Chains A and B, each alone.
Chain A
Amino acid sequence: MILIGERINGMFKDIREAILNKDPEPIRYWAKRQYENCAAYLDINTGPTVDPKDQPAVMEWLVKVAQETVPLPCCIDSTNPEAIEAGLAVHKGKAMINSTSADQWKMDIYFPMAKKYNAAIIGLAMNEKGVPKSAADRVALAMEIVVNADAHGIPMEDLYIDPLMLPCNVAQDHGPEVLEAIRQIKTLADPPPRTTLGLSNSSQRCTNRHLINRTFLIMCMAVGLDSAIADVEDQELLDAVAAANILLNKDIYCDSFLKTFRQR
């Protein structure tokens, strides 16, 4: 399970203020915390309050501060292609682009960008019409993403398809569809594309959020989820992933399995 730490995002108040004040400390703090809590990537998002024309410079700054602090690659998260490219340009190692959708015009921007910077990329199984309801429609969009990625020479292990989970209190019927979509996406190519999920979205405005996130992550792992953008502070989530790795025969069991999962 490739965990992408969600915390460096301008939607959080401390990060928003850090960006406003050009204060690197909160960025460093969360880079370090998430590194210690098994994150393999740091998601970096300027948040919606930064003016679009300032987003490239802010993204560049965030990526630099994060990578000066810990030896982790970033998942460069923006709806603004210029901000993404600014982040990629200063990034060390193999970055991840977050994200393209299945809209042709977006794929025509982001896949060449992924190729140019040798970056991995997340493809959202949605288009301008929104998030599909059924598994079949999600998979159809995923297939368009797979075909376009392949045409641009992106290897399947660098493509992460996100079938998009909606909050379970407003769109409860999406849960089974997402699970089925993950299962089918893993059959779209050989080798298969990877899969990811914005996990915290599944429990927006719900009570017992950690329980919902944790339960859904494990259910998704069982049908082929490779990665998640998640709150890695949640130790019970990490424990559950460690146990799932054992039960899915991905890690060899030993009595210290919770501890070894946390060692890199």
Chain B
Amino acid sequence: MAVTIAKERWTNKVAEVVLGTEPNIVKIGGESTLPFLHFEGEMPNRPAVALEVWDMEPTNWPEILTSAYAGVLNDPVAWAKKCVEYGADLVCLTMVSAHPDNKNTSPEECAQVAKAVADAVNVPLIILGCGIEEKDAQVLEKVAENLSGRNFLLGCATQENYKTITAACIVHGHNIIASSPLDINLEKQLNILITEMNLAANRIIIDPSVGALGYGIEYAYSIMERTRIGALTGDKMMAMPVICLLGQEVWKTKEAKSTTEEAPEWGNQERRAILWEVTTAVAFAQAGGSLFVMRHPESLKQFRAHIDKLMQSNTY
């Protein structure tokens, strides 16, 4: 007896977002079904992976992570090139030094660094601020201007600072990360507020604020799942691709940071930490993530091998 494959008939799809300029573009989103259900609908674009670059040398990264970037950690341009060498689809440049507790770098200096990095690599950039909302608005405004027309991804915009960042994205032709603190209602409202300023919905990426495996991963998972189902059932203000800023979460866990000597019962640190990062990413890929910001090049490699398998057709 023939088996009838149950298929949902969805009425909407996730917007497709294009980052970068020809020929160096990355497309994400565009799904008309739940993740990897190729038999039911389209998943036209693979999840893309960015590796993270800081504009200052990190002091609290474990040695197993810094060793992968030995010699380039104090040079964002060289560091970014290294990421591309490792196969990153995009480079995520984080302006950590702009934080008042760090170097309080000026928006102008940040914009120069961003320009230097952008000119050195042939992949699109994600440019993040330092996490202080007011400062990020100033920094990203300058960055947007200095990289006008490059169609990059800037963030994170919150309910406090979205106006400046949205305006800068509109004027200078960039895309925006709309960030909400694990709250689907605020997530939707922020998308509405941004589109009301006339930034097109297909230039918004949702950041739901993800946690690492063991640190609230299930909350982000549920929100991403609900977001996707909302998108597929017709909610256009939920129909944006999702970015998972997971490297920063994974690499502050004790499972990633404790050395083999400190926690011998947990096994080899390098294997353990990379597994922690890959497993976190894999879970979010299943929840509907489109853009993954990771730190370890080996994590990228293993995650991509996993995605290769998941992207194989399972059409009946």
A interface with B by C-beta (< 8 Å): 157, 251-256, 259-260, 263
Say which residue of A251, A255, A263 sits within 8 Å of B189 (CB atoms): A255
With a cutoff of 8 Å between Cβ atoms, the chain A residues found around residue B235 in the complex are 251-252
Interface of A is mostly: loop
With a cutoff of 8 Å between Cβ atoms, the chain A residues found around residue B188 in the complex are 252-254, 260
With a cutoff of 8 Å between Cβ atoms, the chain B residues found around residue A157 in the complex are 9
Contact A253 B185 (CB under 8 A): yes
Q: In the complex, A157 Cα to B237 Cα: how many Å?
A: 25
With a cutoff of 8 Å between Cβ atoms, the chain A residues found around residue B185 in the complex are 252-255
Closest approach, in angstroms, between the C-beta of A39 and any C-beta of chain B? 16
Interface-central residue, A254, A255, A256, A260, by most chain B CB under 10 Å: A254
With a cutoff of 8 Å between Cβ atoms, the chain B residues found around residue A259 in the complex are 192
Which parts of B216-241 form the interface with A (CB within 8 Å)? Answer: 226, 230, 235-238
Say which residue of B184, B189, B226, B238 sits within 8 Å of A256 (CB atoms): B189
With a cutoff of 8 Å between Cβ atoms, the chain A residues found around residue B236 in the complex are 263
Q: In the complex, A141 Cα to B188 Cα: how many Å?
A: 43
Q: In the complex, A86 Cα to B236 Cα: how many Å?
A: 36
Contact B230 A256 (CB under 8 A): no
Contact A252 B192 (CB under 8 A): no
Q: In the complex, A231 Cα to B235 Cα: how many Å?
A: 24
Q: In the complex, A243 Cα to B152 Cα: how many Å?
A: 38
User: Nearest chain-A residue to B230 (Cβ)?
Assistant: A252
Which parts of B221-266 form the interface with A (CB within 8 Å)? Answer: 226, 230, 235-238
With a cutoff of 8 Å between Cβ atoms, the chain A residues found around residue B192 in the complex are 254, 256, 259-260
User: Nearest chain-B residue to A255 (Cβ)?
Assistant: B189
With a cutoff of 8 Å between Cβ atoms, the chain A residues found around residue B237 in the complex are 254, 260
User: Nearest chain-A residue to B184 (Cβ)?
Assistant: A252
Closest approach, in angstroms, between the C-beta of A177 and any C-beta of chain B? 31
With a cutoff of 8 Å between Cβ atoms, the chain A residues found around residue B226 in the complex are 252
**19 more CB-based (< 8 A) A-B contacts, given A157-B9, A252-B235:** A251-B230, A251-B235, A252-B184, A252-B188, A252-B230, A252-B238, A253-B184, A253-B188, A254-B185, A254-B186, A254-B188, A254-B237, A255-B185, A255-B189, A256-B189, A259-B192, A260-B188, A260-B192, A263-B236
With a cutoff of 8 Å between Cβ atoms, the chain B residues found around residue A263 in the complex are 236
Q: In the complex, A251 Cα to B237 Cα: how many Å?
A: 11
User: Nearest chain-A residue to B189 (Cβ)?
Assistant: A254
Q: In the complex, A252 Cα to B229 Cα: how many Å?
A: 10
Lowest 9 A-B CB distances belong to which pairs? A254-B188, A254-B189, A253-B185, A252-B230, A256-B192, A255-B189, A254-B185, A252-B188, A252-B184
Q: In the complex, A260 Cα to B9 Cα: how many Å?
A: 23
With a cutoff of 8 Å between Cβ atoms, the chain B residues found around residue A256 in the complex are 189, 192
User: Nearest chain-B residue to A246 (Cβ)?
Assistant: B185
Q: In the complex, A157 Cα to B192 Cα: how many Å?
A: 30
With a cutoff of 8 Å between Cβ atoms, the chain B residues found around residue A251 in the complex are 230, 235
Q: In the complex, A167 Cα to B110 Cα: how many Å?
A: 69
Q: In the complex, A250 Cα to B184 Cα: how many Å?
A: 14
Closest approach, in angstroms, between the C-beta of B227 and any C-beta of chain A? 8
Q: In the complex, A254 Cα to B235 Cα: how many Å?
A: 12
Q: In the complex, A251 Cα to B236 Cα: how many Å?
A: 11
Q: In the complex, A45 Cα to B186 Cα: how many Å?
A: 43
User: Nearest chain-B residue to A264 (Cβ)?
Assistant: B236
Q: In the complex, A157 Cα to B185 Cα: how many Å?
A: 30
Q: In the complex, A256 Cα to B185 Cα: how many Å?
A: 10
User: Nearest chain-A residue to B191 (Cβ)?
Assistant: A254
